[in-house]
Amino acid sequence: MQRRTPIHSALRLGAIFLTGLAWIAASRASAADPNALWNVVHDLCVTDVRLSGSPAPCSKVDLPHGYAVLKDIRGDTQLLLIPTDRVTGIEDTKLLAANSPNYWQAAWDARLIFEKRAGRPVPREALGLAINSLYGRTQNQLHIHIDCVRPSVQRTLAASQARIGERWSDLDVPLTGHHYRVRRLMGADFGARDPFKLLAEADPDARAGMARETLVAIGASFAGKPGFILLSDHASLMPLDKAAGEELLDHSCAVLGAHP
């Protein structure tokens, strides 16, 4: 790495400031530019970490494992897990390849960054990961939302937990007005288990139409043992449902107020 001089340091600070402004501008234009996230991660974060070792404006860039963690402009805590390779979204066939990265594990690992932003330990039951369907998103670069769970969703899932098994089934109560399928997944981490593949392997219709699917993973404890509650929904016209699982998250993070 090149030796830095005061001029280099000043230029470096200026570059960080400009990349931050670029991210804000890109985010505001996201509805008009579906490649805004890709441009931020590929052109700014990856380039910056290769040139200087800093991931700015991202919080983290892991080139060997192919992902970046970026603070979303909404909320104080919300993060996005974004591949550093071109992956359009949940419908991208690369996600079901045998050697595909497990972006869900990377997203769950980002809870350490999340807790730093929250300024406190976050109970696993308060944290959720979500990816929207093609019809429920504005960006054409895969991104997993990482944020707090809505308190109402947390309460409903806690009341339904005994009826959530290890195979996909219909959740018998709606969440934020939409009907989800649900299953439990035991273990403190995902490990090699990839929710994209778990859904596609269990549901041929989902595999054939992944663009319509949304997936959510919420931390849980079952009889004192750690695990996850996985939820899926698919876009439909009747009733109107864009399949945006992000709706189960709360970008104001109100749920943390219930945990001392």
In a domain, 166, yes or no: yes
pLDDT digits (tens, 9 = 90+) for 29-88: 445 799 999 999 999 999 999 999 999 999 999 999 999 999 999 999 999 999 999 999
Q: Give the pLDDT of residue 32.
A: 72
Name the pairing type of β-strands 79-83 and 67-71. Answer: antiparallel
pLDDT (tens digit per residue) in 65-78: 999 999 999 999 99
What DSSP string describes 89-103?
A: STT-GGGGSTT---H
Element at 109 (helix H, strand E): helix 103-109
13 in any annotated domain: no
* Beta strands at 249-250 and 225-234: parallel, antiparallel or unpaired: unpaired
Residue 207, SS3 per DSSP: helix
Q: Structural domain tally of the chain? A: 1
Q: Residue 26: what pLDDT?
A: 42
Domain range for 155? 63-258
Q: For residue 130, what are its two tokens?
A: 């979500």
Q: What is the CATH number of the domain that holds 112?
A: 3.30.428.30
Asked whether residue 248 is assigned to any structural domain, the reply reads yes
- Write the pLDDT tens digit of every residue in 177-192: 999 999 999 999 999 9
Q: What average pLDDT does the chain have?
A: 89
Does the residue 57 lie in any domain?
A: no
Q: What is the pLDDT of residues 99-143, one digit of tens each?
A: 999 999 999 999 999 999 999 999 999 999 999 999 999 999 999
Q: What is the pTM of this model?
A: 0.87
Evaluate whether residue 46 is within a structural domain.
Answer: no
